[in-house]
A and B are shown apart, each in its own frame.
Chain A
């Protein structure tokens, strides 16, 4: 179990409890957090679950795989802390995670 906070572009916050074993993307979808499209359903192949991870958590969420890197690289609005939320697994390690949502998914 982990608490995750999603902050929309307009500042609206959504705090949810996510089960261990799911992903940051699925936790958002299951709790109807807006702003994550997840067109490919979590296959790391559409980049429509883009989030920006708050700095304090960057060390805990790991680094993108080559495939994720390849998808992120094509997004002109990519930031240094950009990740695809389908590739971040939920565990006690990331309890308290805060992510910003982009204004638009590409």
Chain B
């Protein structure tokens, strides 16, 4: 790690640093929430920007909405093969998963599991989700401080995930841990060492291998493990590839909505006028949900690797180059989104945002995410006058998972 020797962005003025020296990947910028001005400068002055040296090696940043769409729509030139995050894959611990594949294999594997979150199935799940949301909200203390992340965001998304996997409910907190471990590292403090990380992920594999064995000889069910065990494109995966796809489904269903649940509370607290709009017109909840997902952008980026030399916004990219699409920046691009730095729960065309990605890798759980958030806000409105934020939020020190570890709140009764 060259971490110590590189100039740290957290110490410089974003408006006076030379544009070529900007490195938005540095973790401190994310932990301290100091990345926004750097992204504004990149969008205005260098929308396709090369950072020659960083903690994660050289990389291109794509920061405008339209340029991100161009990359999303051209999987032939911008490949997802092997990894979709800014860090390079670990040579001796690769986790193949369908989000990190190109067609045709990507399509074969994704189609095996996609049905679990198809809207027609979600209708059947709505009652279960509502009951769980009600139980969680009814168990919360009123008038006393607690951590919203721990008691609501994590609890709700973990219960959902356990349902989708038909995972033993009493053990569900293992899913939360594996999700954190999968995207964590010694630098983020989730694990002590890389060895510990791998060990815990192998425990995950071992646990899920038992579930696979229980289900492979039974008729196919509608849970994700059964779907993988019976699917033509997935039944012969090697253990590492099973683990990779598990990590994808666990993180995809957990680390994302968790942070939209937390970020929504924070955004409404910081924008009391918008909260009053919601109180007087609950019909705005579906638009509120889309606006929360744009505002929070729970995954800050996706990475592609250039397959052949090509041009992007006047720059020449070479085969092998790392290209990072910063969704977090594209979602604040005033060229496409009107008054992007305002949180507006009645925003026209609120679904037009980058948080789910576009193209063949677009989030397959997007309707489930929206449904969980919709039900949560409906039930909050039925119970509480207000969710008041009473302290500083703590943020995940990651340039990928854009979220929170702590949000102290106090509930006020109706």
Given A40-B69, A41-B352, A45-B358, are A74 and B107 also a contact pair (CB < 8 Å)?
Answer: yes
Report the nearest A residue to B115, measured CB to CB.
A76
Binary contact readout A33-46 vs B (1 if CB under 8 angstroms, 0 otherwise): 00001011101111
Query: A37, A39, A48, A73: which has the most chain B beta carbons within 10 Å?
Result: A39
Q: Contact between A43 and B69 (Cβ–Cβ < 8 Å)?
A: yes
Q: How far is the CB of A64 from chain B (nearest CB, A)?
A: 14
Q: Contact between B118 and A70 (Cβ–Cβ < 8 Å)?
A: no
Q: Contact between B367 and A70 (Cβ–Cβ < 8 Å)?
A: no
Interface size for A (C-beta < 8 A) is 21
Interface check A55, CB cutoff 8 A: no
Given A39-B352, A103-B119, are A67 and B73 also a contact pair (CB < 8 Å)?
Answer: yes
Interface check B269, CB cutoff 8 A: no
Given A37-B351, A74-B107, A74-B114, are A43 and B73 also a contact pair (CB < 8 Å)?
Answer: yes
Q: Contact between A46 and B362 (Cβ–Cβ < 8 Å)?
A: yes
Interface check B402, CB cutoff 8 A: no
What DSSP secondary structure best describes chain B's contact surface? helix
Binary contact readout A87-106 vs B (1 if CB under 8 angstroms, 0 otherwise): 00000000000000001111
Given A43-B69, A73-B111, are A106 and B360 also a contact pair (CB < 8 Å)?
Answer: no
Q: Contact between B111 and A45 (Cβ–Cβ < 8 Å)?
A: no
Q: Contact between B120 and A104 (Cβ–Cβ < 8 Å)?
A: yes
Partner of A73, one of B72, B107, B351, B359: B107
Q: Contact between B119 and A106 (Cβ–Cβ < 8 Å)?
A: yes
Partner of B111, one of A67, A76, A103: A76
Bound: A32/B120 CA distance, A: 24
Q: Contact between A74 and B118 (Cβ–Cβ < 8 Å)?
A: no
Which B359-390 residues have a C-beta within 8 angstroms of A?
359-360, 362, 364, 367
Which B81-118 residues have a C-beta within 8 angstroms of A?
103, 107, 110-111, 114-115, 118
Interface, chain A (partner B; CB < 8 A):
37, 39-41, 43-48, 67, 70-71, 73-74, 76-77, 103-106
Q: List 6 A-B contacts (CB under 8 A).
A: A40-B352, A43-B69, A45-B362, A74-B364, A77-B119, A104-B120
Name 18 extra pairs, CB < 8 A, besides A71-B359, A74-B110, A76-B111.
Answer: A39-B352, A39-B356, A43-B69, A43-B358, A45-B73, A45-B359, A46-B362, A47-B362, A48-B351, A67-B73, A74-B107, A74-B111, A76-B114, A76-B115, A77-B119, A77-B120, A104-B120, A105-B119
